[in-house]
Amino acid sequence: MMNKKAMFLAVFVGLIMGIGTAYAKDTDFYSDGFSLPVLDGVWQSVSDVGDAQFSLSAKPGNLSIIAEGDVFARTILSFGGDFTVETQLGVKPSDDLQGAGLILWVKPGLNLILIRGMKDGKNVIDFAGVSENELTEHFAVDYSKSYVYLRIVRQGDSFTAWYSEDGAEWIRIGTIQTALTPNLKAGVFAMNGSSGSIQADFNYFRIHTSEGKQGKKGKFLN
């Protein structure tokens, strides 16, 4: 079994309709503005390493993940087929192995992450794939602002990551080709591999179907 530091390294380098509303869902669309006093029941919150606090009151109108010490925590829901997933995030990493963002989860050691964090002392946005706890491919861009919009588009085995400063003009980070299962879990996460603390505030989350290369559309599974 990998030790915690090795896991963090593997995960990190490898690894409006919703805004201002409560939540809305159907078979091919889900949007959550995190404005209710309790988290919608479709979400599954997990701390894989350490303990994290999941809060809707730490910053009202946001889902906050608060991590002190070694923590890798995620809040996810099930979705299948081709889709676009997006969030708006506020986070201030101050040390390596700190950050937060979007995650596409299959199982431990097999996932994709789009993270606003720190790596090698630099503030970055990193899009990475992990398979069997090994880095498959990743793309990184320098980014120092606390707030960012993040987006991942799935079309079959093609996953493309984007970021935006204002939610209007989007910049492509890169595309990872990987054969993940048709059905997986999409959501948000925070990680803290340092002795300090970090709070990640997610202002909204939404996921909707997109027409894939084979003409297949995604669907909300919960």
Total of domains in the chain: 1
Q: Under DSSP, is residue 179 helix (H, G, I), strand (E, B) or coil?
A: coil
Angle (CA) 37 107 208, round 5°: 55
With cut-offs at 50, 70 and 90, classify the pLDDT of residue 2. very low
Query: Is the model's pLDDT at 14 over the cut of 50?
Result: no
The pTM assigned to this predicted structure is 0.86
Q: Report pLDDT for 22.
A: 65
Average pLDDT over residues 34-61: 90
How many residues appear in the chain? 222
Take residue 170 and report the two structure tokens written for it: 């989007």
**Residues 163 and 126: beta-carbon distance below 8 Å:** no
**Tell me, what CATH number does 135's domain have?**
2.60.120.200
Tell me the C-alpha distance between 85 and 83, whole Å. Answer: 7
- Residue 157 domain boundaries: 4-220
Average pLDDT over residues 1-27: 46
